Amino acid sequence: MENCLFCRIIAGEIPSSKVYEDEHVFAFRDIDPQAPTHILIVPKAHCDSVMDASAETVGHMADAAKLLAVREGLNEKGFRLVINTGDEGGQSVKHLHLHLLGGRSMQWPPG
Ligand code: DGP
């Protein structure tokens, strides 16, 4: 999608620290990490939010998150997966993305 930041990252028009890519998803390190590991997993096909996504798309993102959690050494101690949605949900980029956060203890409830 033209002028979508994450579509441009997926296309390689904007540089990113890519950690994983397959047919369905692209994953890269967050520019403003909130934990020692902070990776964004995004579907290659643009959708604005989880409200527009199919179960298959969300499943592909979750599968990539599990693979990356193991690869990053997070699966023993644990990690957090977050999909911010809409303005009150804290979604700043309108291309669906799954945050994978780990490497520190997480607080609950989130702010
Ligand atoms: P959210 O607030 O849930 O929409 O998360 C958007 C995230 O995207 C936020 O944690 C910062 C990250 N981000 C924004 N712009 C860039 C960028 O140009 N490169 C990378 N790697 N991350 C970005």
pLDDT given at position 91: 98
Q: Within a domain: residue 33?
A: yes
β-pairing, 18-21 with 25-29? antiparallel
Q: Residue 14 falls within a domain, yes or no?
A: yes
Q: Could you give the number of structural domains in the chain?
A: 1
Asked if residue 2 has pLDDT above 90, the reply is no
pLDDT band at 92 (very low <50, low <70, confident <90, very high): very high
Q: For this structure, is 97 an active site residue?
A: yes
Atom of ligand 1 nearest to the CA of 32: 11
Q: What is the pTM of this model?
A: 0.98
Domain of residue 84, CATH code: 3.30.428.10
pLDDT confidence of residue 111: 80
Task: Give the residue, out of 30, 34, 94, with the most ligand 1 atoms within 8 A of its beta carbon, to mutate for a pocket test.
Answer: 30
Q: Which residue has the tokens 């409830």?
A: 109
Q: Could you say which of 60, 95, 97, 99 is catalytic?
A: 97
Q: Give the pLDDT confidence of 42-85 residue by residue, as tens digits.
A: 999 999 999 999 999 999 999 999 999 999 999 999 999 999 99
Residues 50, 54, 59, 64: is their CA dihedral positive or negative?
negative
- 81 located within any domain: yes
In-domain check, residue 108: no
Which numbered atom of ligand 1 lies nearest the CA of 17? 21
Domain that holds residue 16: 5-102
pLDDT for 1 beyond 90 = no
